Amino acid sequence: MRQLNLSKRLFWIIAFCVLCANTLIVFFLYHQAENLAQMRAYSKAKTLQDYFTSMRYVYHQQFLESGIDLNDSTIGFLPAHASSHISEEFLKRSTQGIRINNVSDRPRNPINQADALETNAITYFNQNSDKNESIALIKEGDKEFFFFASPLRIQAYCLVCHGQKSEVLPYIANRYENAYGYKLNEVRGLTSIKIPKNILFDEVFSFFWKEVLFSSLVMFFLLVLMYIAIQELTKRDVEQKKELEGLVIERTKTLVQKSAELEKAYVHQKHLYSVLRTVADSNQILITTQTLEELLYETALCLFANDSFAHVKIALYENGALHVKESRGFDEEHEINAMEEAVFSNGGFRIITRASEDVPESCQETMRRHHVSEAYVTALKSDRFTLTALGVLSICTTIPEGFSSEERSMIEELAGDIGFAINSFMQKESILKLSYYDSLTHLANKALLIEQMRLCIATNKLNVLFGALLFMDLDNFKSINDLKGHETGDKLLVMMAQRLESYTKENNSIARFGGDEFALLLPNLGNVLEEAAKRAEAIALQILLATKEPFIIDGHPFYMTVSIGIGLFDGNESAEELLSHADSAMYTAKSDGRNTIRFFDPYIQKVMEEKSSMLQQLRDAIDSKQFLLYYQPQVDQNAHVIGVEALIRLKKATGELIPPGQFIPLCEESGLIVPLGQWILREAMMQVKRWEKDAQKSQWRVSINVSTKQFEREDFVHVVESVLNETAIEPSLIRLELTESLLIGDSAKALVKIEALKTLGVSLSVDDFGTGYSSLQYLKHLNVDELKIDQSFIRDFLTDRSDALIVETIISIGKNFNMEVIAEGVESEEQFERLKAMGCHYFQGYFFGKPTPPENLYM
């Protein structure tokens, strides 16, 4: 009874605690409901504000770009005028009583006049330029509402209507007398949103009280069940309990004994089943696999799936030595040990335990490190009677008792089957090597296609028919291999082959020439040259479109394009000539921008030959150090030199200087830009080292251009660090100029490299800013020091208002992001003075000095 009383007391204590906890939860949920209502008010207001601001911005841009003359008929297109009517219409249509307006303390339209609450908000945002929104619960009389305000700050394009009255659009100045003289970032007005409190609170608190009621009922129900359970305890009989306990103890002993016996039998049966399952799965693999690689991979995977096997390794004899083909477990160890060499040389098998003798120390160390209890090493043979082994199968276990007899028999049986299958695949592969098909895509290879071309050429000559050879090369395929690995690249090639196979109808032949090159032979396109060309072009266009469809590999889409060269033939060409024509046309398509089609042209062939010659000359120039670095001064507002930009020149044997525009594109295309870029990096830093003893030049910063291919290399940061260590110069004297395109490709990887470069101490510049992507979305994440205004904007900005607005915008962006801004291509004093007036601090161009050898630089 005492135990019962204790249980009841415990029940009331628990009940009291549960009630207290439930009360605290109710209060907490109430507070959370209030917060949720305010959060929903903010979310609703923010969504409305974004939409309303976007609509007003589009109105504004459309109005400015349309050039519509403002009069009483077109006043409705004016953004501020239209937004007031939209606000009135929104209030009429809104069933929730939400008000949204664009208001101002100096409105041109009386409807847009700010009330006292909104006027105070405008004053607040003028005093706090870093604040861009506010929300507060306002009570006016018996009404409460959330008041959300966001400032409308003057942007560069706003000044055409709200700048100095003498400079705004004529029809604005003629119509309105006020709201002029605003400056950039000044608050013109604000977006005002008023949301009644009750539309949010009623819904939230309705849900809140339902939850409170439900949780209270659940709590009461659980307490009742607990009380009933305690009451049931009173029905127990103490004497029966003792007898029951004795009976339970006796039966438990019996059950434990039987359970141990059953467990032992179950483990043995499970082990036998595992052995049989592994044998069955392995035999199925031997039957179904199509290639040797698939056989080895699937077999190793199947064996490793057996819980008894901690390590599975399959090694084959190739090129005079054993090579590991598949390894599972032990960190995928890929080394051949002495015991495996011995078993391969002597044949048979070897069982190795920790107590085995004549085991090399390296093998013993491996067994100790991975807690191996037994290793089974057996030779792989084509059949049991042959003396020559094909390789070795090694399997290890960490089970203390080692392999069972069933497992040893299974390993030996499987080794024989695997060896037989390997020998079959090797024989098949030997035959395939002599055949005419590509092993990856199973398309015809070059040899087979050339034979088909010769037959087709002879047939067309006899029948006076035209045909065509389409030579295709995937654009930028190397980047797939470099970034995603060759496995992904191979999958893409296979998928490309499958798409091309749809064009092998009738007598057409598709082939893979190796790498990412494919060819399609169209033997019969009619007896009229123009018609044949049209048909070939139509098929090529279909291939272009088919290639643009995304390649889905491992759940990720890859977008590719293809360059296609077309060589037409009528039977008077050899197969080699036709192939050369189509190949030449393909390279013309590459040079013309890729993702296009070109027919063979003898003139283009000559250009390609000259291009090949030029490429060889550039390789020789790198080896013979014919490249030179010239330097162009960079100055401040006082025209004092603060640094230089390193610019590459090529000096021919005749002494003639070749500008970079004639050879840099070819270097980029061929990949020579990487070694050339490394030479520029080292030479420029060595020049900084030479200037260390010059009182003025030792303070100059040297800007060095970095190509996209150079920056994308994995070792780029290491190369910069190595040259800095080699030259022992101050890193802050080096500024690397990066293009916008390399910053938006793989932005995550680019940001990591940028941070690594900043850690080295060098500064960074975005070159030709404004000509590429120019997105604030990526710019705000970049830890760069300088924006360089492209000279294409500087050239005409004195007379072209669009260029002037772009220059002003870039300077403003630089200030807002705390970056230096340098203008390149400054060629006159008028440009210099105008840029200074706009707020630009650094300059570069012919007005201050042309690129010149380092010894000719002056202060």
Q: What is the pLDDT of residues 758-815, one digit of tens each?
A: 999 999 998 877 665 445 666 667 788 999 998 988 999 999 898 899 899 999 988 9
Quickly list DSSP for 39-102. HHHHHHHHHHHHHHHHHHHHHHHHHHHHTPPPSTTTGGGSHHHHHHHHHHHHHHH-TT--EEEE
**What pLDDT, on a 0 to 100 scale, did the predictor assign at position 601?**
67
Q: In the structure encoding, which two tokens stand for residue 39, read together?
A: 């959060």
- Level-2 CATH architecture, domain 272-433: 2-Layer Sandwich (3.30)
Could you tell me the pLDDT band of residue 346, with boundaries at 50, 70 and 90? Answer: confident
- Sort 718 into a burial class: Cβ within 10 Å, 0-12 / 13-18 / 19+: exposed
C-alpha–C-alpha distance, residues 335 and 322, integer Å: 9
For residue 506, the surrounding DSSP H or E stretch is none
The predicted pLDDT at position 336 comes to: 84
List where CATH 3.30.450.40 sits in the chain: 272-433
Over residues 465-495, the pLDDT tens digits come to: 999 999 999 988 887 877 788 888 899 999 9
Determine contact, residues 54/79, Cβ cutoff 8 Å. Answer: no
Average pLDDT over the chain reads: 83
**Strand pairing partners for 104?**
113
pLDDT (tens digit per residue) in 397-430? 988 888 888 788 888 888 888 888 888 777 776 6
Largest CA distance in the chain: 119
Which band of pLDDT confidence, cut at 50, 70 and 90, is reported for residue 604?
very low
Q: Tell me the pLDDT band of 641, cut-offs 50, 70 and 90.
A: very high
* Buried-state track 446-480, b at ≥16 Cβ within 10 A, e below 16: bebbbebbeebbeebeeeebbbbbbbbbbbebeeb
pLDDT in tens, 256-286: 777 777 676 566 666 667 777 887 787 778 7
Q: Model-level pTM greater than 0.85?
A: no
Interval 679-702 mean pLDDT:
92
Residue 73 burial (C-beta neighbours within 10 Å; 0-12, 13-18, 19+): exposed
Q: How far apart are CA 279 and CA 360, in angstroms?
A: 31
Ranges in the chain annotated CATH 3.20.20.450: 622-856
In whole angstroms, what separates CA 835 from the centre of its chain?
Answer: 38
241, amino acid identity: K
Record: fold of 622-856? TIM Barrel (3.20.20)
pLDDT at position 849 is 92
Which residues have C-beta within 8 Å of that of residue 809, sequence separation ≥ 6? 156
pLDDT, residue 360, reads 83
Tell me how many helices (H) and strands (E) the chain has.
27, 25
* Alpha helix segments (H runs only) across 501-601: 529-548, 575-591
Q: How many CA atoms lie within 13 A of 76 on its CB side?
A: 3
Residues carrying CATH 3.30.70.270, the chain: 446-600
What pLDDT score does 776 carry?
A: 60
Which residue type is seen at 765? S
CA distance 522 to 538: 12
- Three-state DSSP class for residue 352: strand
**Nearest Cα residue to 413 out of 482, 349, 342:** 349
Q: How far apart are CA 162 and CA 184, in angstroms?
A: 10
CA 425 – CA 103 distance, rounded (Å): 81
Helix (H) or strand (E) holding 208: helix 198-233
Alpha carbon 241 to its chain's center = 69
Q: Which residues contact 381 (CB under 8 A, 6 or more apart)?
A: 347, 388, 389, 390, 416, 419
Using pLDDT thresholds of 50, 70 and 90, give the confidence band for residue 437. Answer: confident
**Span of 298-302, 386-390, 566-570, 612-616 with lowest mean pLDDT:** 612-616
Both structure tokens of 25? 């939860």
Which range (200-214, 289-303, 673-687) has the least confidence? 200-214
Task: Pick the more confident residue, 823 or 30.
Answer: 823
Lookup result for tokens 């005079």? 320
DSSP label at residue 437: B
Residue 518 has pLDDT above 90, yes or no: yes
- Taking CA atoms, 111 is separated from 104, 118, 406, 516, in Å, by 10, 13, 93, 66
| Least confident residue range of 293-297, 672-676, 687-691, 740-744 | 740-744
Interatomic CA distance for residues 195 and 191, integer angstroms: 13
Q: Where are the beta strands (DSSP E) in 267-388?
A: 311-318, 321-328, 349-353, 374-381
pLDDT (tens digit, 9 = 90+) per residue, 351-394? 888 888 788 887 888 888 888 889 989 988 877 777 788 899 99
The β-bridge partners of 196 are 145
- Report the C-alpha gap between 473 and 520 in whole angstroms: 12
∠ Cα 855 858 859 (to 5°): 145
Q: Which residues of 90-115 are buried (b: 16+ CB within 10 A; e: fewer)?
A: eeeeeeeebbbbbbbbbbbbeebebe
Given the structure tokens 């016996």, which residue do they identify?
A: 261
Strands 187-196 and 701-705: unpaired
Residue 681 phi/psi, 5-degree rounding, is -60, -50
Options 3.30.930.10, 3.40.47.10, 3.30.70.270, 3.40.50.300; which CATH number does 446-600 get? 3.30.70.270
Give the CA-trace dihedral at 375, 379, 383, 384, to 10 degrees. -70
Q: Name the most confidently modeled range: 57-61, 219-223, 345-349, 440-444.
A: 440-444
- pLDDT score recorded for residue 485: 82
Picking from 438, 436, 448, the residue whose alpha carbon sits closest to that of residue 515 is 438
CA distance 670 to 666: 6
Residue 819: DSSP 8-state: -
Nearest to 284 by CA among 302, 304, 270: 302
Question: Which 3 state secondary structure label does DSSP give 591?
Answer: helix
* Dihedral sign computed on CA atoms, order 374, 379, 384, 387: negative
pLDDT tens profile 83-121 = 777 877 787 787 777 888 888 888 888 878 888 888 888
Q: Which two tokens stand for residue 531?
A: 């018609």
Residues in the chain: 859
Please give the Cα distance from 453 to 578 (Å, whole number): 9
What is the distance between the alpha carbons of residues 673 and 676, in angstroms, rounded to a whole number? 5
Q: What is the pLDDT of residue 822?
A: 95
Q: What is the pLDDT of residue 612?
A: 67
Residues 672 and 664: their CA atoms lie apart, in Å, by 9
Rounded percentage of the chain residues whose pLDDT exceeds 90: 22
**More reliable by pLDDT, 559 or 636:** 636
> In Å, what is the CA distance from 97 to each residue of 94, 479, 656, 723?
6, 56, 78, 68
Least confident residue range of 143-157, 531-545, 706-720, 751-765: 143-157
Cα 371 from Cα 396, distance rounded (Å): 10
Contacts 24+ apart (CB under 8 A), 177-185: 178/106, 178/108, 179/104, 179/106, 179/107, 179/108, 182/154, 182/158, 183/154, 184/154, 184/155, 184/156, 184/159, 184/812, 185/129, 185/153, 185/154
Residue given tokens 């499970």 in the structure block: 270
The predicted structure's pLDDT at residue 33:
67
Tens of pLDDT, residue by residue over 441-464, are 888 888 888 899 999 999 988 888
- Whether the per-residue pLDDT at 432 is higher than 60: the answer is no
Q: What is the pLDDT of residue 1?
A: 46
